Structure 1
């Protein structure tokens, strides 16, 4: 190798033989994919979902055209009669409860997702009654919202049973099951059941509301308390009986259930007569006639104002605004 070449080279190897080009920068990733990959995956998933939905609609419409299914839908139209003592209409207090529940739930979901992805908290909060227990300002905000949501829920339950409104969301007959199946078939066939929420919900709605109020909400509370600072840390027997890992495995799926319920609920409110439904819930106006649609915009404008309030709460939920409020109940520090 040290000896000179026995011939004179006649070809220049080029700059590439001596210099390596700088590697191209990696595109920024959002989770497992880049922005372009997310767009492509969203398009493919959307097309696939539309195709699957079309297949479900076609298959359901074929099924309900069969004579046994036609008889089933005639026997169970999608709802059953409530007890004679059941109230008619939605009171004003239910509209306020509905708004407060939506407001707290929106901020709870927002702060809960922040807690999951927060690695370096921007601020910490220490309660006055326990200087050794320090938590991030985001966790304090999340748990404070949980307490407000819990108080609002307790008021809702008391009023629900005192006024008899519980009969609208708690099944009072086993007919709720075949009627819920009937309503599901009608929704899936896009021949939606006629309904009037001012008088009675269809059975599928009733089961959804019952599950949300009496199953999902208690699960969220029980699992949230287990992961919060309110849970006694030194109760070894209680901790072994109810491990925190169980609470973590249940708490997040319950949050996903609430998100799915909110999306479907809002979509159906606007798809099944927006003005009528908004007047029912926000303006306490309605009619016993299932074909009557409210032609005024009172409920809509109240709903629009509530959306602005929720948007303001979403924007204000940041350390600059939260820190002065948190100082009223403890100490806020950078470490």
Structure 2
């Protein structure tokens, strides 16, 4: 959320004060459109604007109270616009001819669209450096009582669709840490055969609070721990515990979403980590829901393309544009309830020690 950063910069960088009426501020899509159009268009789509902490996401406009709180004048901010449509034309000198800009969205919102989560209740999880789960809530602005976030999913024709979001700080970065700093593996794909080489985690649990814990715990000062080590533990158990931590953290989010009235009937996953089939099956087992994984996992780019297609008139709706998603694979829960309870009890014990 960039509102505090903008406010800080305005107070502490003299050159911004000197710019006066020539100053323009925005998030990355605002900057790109501004530069691509030769400075003619200064807009932010509603999904990105909702991630500044400066927008009243219920009304779709900048919030005067928040602007005053952070010390950001309305005059320097972009106009809030739809996520698709005739958003601007590129400067002809850049590419030899003007090109229409017809779609833009925030990172996770674009992934939600790319996963065709177009109906309320449909949920996607992106496992990249961190993990980000969004449940589409339609035109209903969600209000969480369980430490989740409400966000604009997209805006079309002036109508906003919303989502409930939970963020995990450490996902793929945990595997990078095992590789680059501990030297436990040579390459990230090595974790899958290691996990399959042992029957279970051997009582080893890894709580990956390497940069604190995100939703639903929100404990920035929490520190990571590997719990349950004995002389019987091998690096395969640690690697497996690292992969299992993805399912454990996601289960914590599922519990919070369900408590907010947004339980998951299924989960659609994407991101670099889902190339690990063992991890995706473990997600299905621990969450006890079917997990759907598309062949094309770069769903953020796909969602942006779907919006652009709608904005250019190639498709009449996002539902029609969803044909771009392609084939998907499905992972069905195969773990019995007793084994699931044992796993989750071990996680709760390890997590409690970190939180305690």
- Is the shorter-chain TM-score for this pair beyond 0.5, marking a shared fold? no
Normalised TM-score (structure 1): 0.26
Normalised TM-score (structure 2): 0.25
The structure carrying a bigger helix percent of its residues is: 1
Higher Cα Rg, which structure: 1
Higher normalized contact order (CA 8 Å, seq sep 6+, divided by chain length): 1
The structure carrying a bigger strand percent of its residues is: 2
